[in-house]
Structure 1
Amino acid sequence: MNTSNRDDDEATRAAGSRLVHDFGLLIKVATRLEQRIDTVLRRECGISHTMFEVLIRLCRQPDEEVSQRRLADDLTLTSGGITRLIDRMEEAGLVRRVPAPEDRRSVLVEATDHGRTVFLRAAAAHAQVVEKCFVAPVAPDDYGRMTRALSEIQQALRDT
């Protein structure tokens, strides 16, 4: 067997490995669920899933001051990406920018009353999709194990 055939065989085994399959399954499920949520939020509330994520962050603790930089870090967006997103959300009346009291170079973002109203509608729509597509297909005992395992994975990623 020449080197090329050996490499082909090894590549075939690697591509078909359980680890590649299982991780691919996780990514496919997460991507499809995110797409389903995004479609419902756009149709029913006029916002994207990413906008919903911003509103979650802003509504979680309303008195907390949240900078654009912090939002970008929380959502893993670039500074340009978060700026464009906040621009669109501000144009839609969902958020407003305010100067940071302690640092005039920094900009804080807060939800408007309209943004909070849209968030509440979106949270209900989000919950329906998550219940139907993420919770219901899994047995209750398995669901608890799955969410604990995901938390453990997330913690391990934070620690490394």
Structure 2
Amino acid sequence: MNATPLPDPPSAAAASDAANSRLVRDFGLLIKSATRLEQRIDAALRRECGISHTMLEVLIRLCREPGEEVSQRQLADDLTLTSSGTTRLIDRMEEAGLVRRVPSPGDRRVALVEPTAEGRTAFLHGATVHAEVVERYFVRPLSPTEYTRMTSALTVIARALWED
């Protein structure tokens, strides 16, 4: 029986080179910055509005087009949440009086989600808090030119990701 020889295991130096590569470092910086900014936004929203950042994201989606019918499935897709995670989130938001479920006129199996008056009030307060944190940590540290370059680059990256 002839066994295929196993390749030599990679060296610690090769693994270190890969872990410290420019691409790994730069992408890590992007993820760490985005994660930390999201944590700051979430903390400010919880402290000042009593809602989470994810709840604000739901309210943003629901308030974007007045009268638009938005199903839980659409919310899950838009927010990249699981179906069960979306159900639990909407349950909590409904208990807090921020949203309500209404039957879809076109399909009795579908529940639509809409903001309540209290939800719109929470959204407006949350949007102000969100804007303050984004301004402080995302906009102000950069010059206007740097900010324009960054948002242009992020737009190009987003397009490339959606096109594939």
Shared fold per TM-score greater than 0.5: yes
TM-score range relative to shorter protein: over 0.9
Map 1:48-63 onto structure 2 (within 5 A): 48-63=52-67
Alpha-carbon offset, residue 8 of structure 1: 1.5
> Structure 1 stretches (4+) deviating beyond 2 angstroms?
none
2:13 counterpart (9, 13, 28): 9
TM-score scaled by structure 1? 0.96
Q: CA deviation at 1:77?
A: 0.6
Distance 1:120 1:50 in 2: 15
Q: Who wins on radius of gyration, i.e. which is larger?
A: 2
Q: Which has the higher helix share?
A: 1
Aligned residues: 157
**Inter-partner Cα distance in structure 1 for 2:11 and 2:109:** 55
TM-score w.r.t. the length of structure 2 is 0.94
CA–CA separation in structure 1 for the residues paired with 2:66 and 2:14: 54
Per the TM alignment, residue 139 of structure 1 is displaced from its structure 2 partner at its CA by 1.0
SS of 2:145's partner is helix
Aligned position for 2:86 = 82
Structure 1: give runs of 5+ residues left out of the alignment. none
Structure 2 spans left out of the alignment, 5+ residues: 1-7
TM-superposed CA distance for 1:7, in Å, is: 2.3
Counterpart amino acid of 2:85?
A: G
Superimposed CA distance per residue, residues 69-111 of structure 1 (whole angstroms, 9 cap, x where no aligned partner): 0000011111100000000000000000000100000010000
Tell me the C-alpha RMSD between the 2 structures. 0.8
In the alignment, which residue of structure 2 is the partner of 1:112? Answer: 116
